[in-house]
Amino acid sequence: MAEYIPTYVGTVTKYVFVESPLLTPKDLAVRAYEISGGVMIKETCFGLQVTGTPDEVEALVAKVREFDPFHIFVKDRGFPPGDERRCRANLGGARPGYLGHEFEMKKVRYISKGLEAAAATAPSLPEKPKSLDARRLKEMMDAEEP
Tell me the C-alpha distance between 33 and 16, whole Å: 13
Q: Any idea what DSSP says for residue 105?
A: H
Longest dimension (CA), the chain: 75
Residue with smaller CB distance to another protein, 132 or 144: 132
Are the C-beta atoms of residues 11 and 83 closer than 8 Å to each other? no
Cα distance between residue 121 and residue 109, in whole Å: 19
Q: Does residue 100 contact residue 46 with C-beta atoms inside 8 Å?
A: no
**What track of x and - describes contact with another protein for positions 81 through 110 (by CB under 8 A)?**
--x-x-----------x-xxx-xxx-xxxx
Residue 143: CB minimum distance to another protein, A: 21
Q: Which of 38, 45, 66, 78 binds another protein (CB under 8 A)?
A: 78
How many residues of this chain bind another protein (CB under 8 A)?
45
List residues near another protein by CB under 8 A.
1, 3-6, 8-13, 15, 17, 73-80, 83, 85, 97, 99-101, 103-105, 107-115, 117-118, 122-123, 125-126
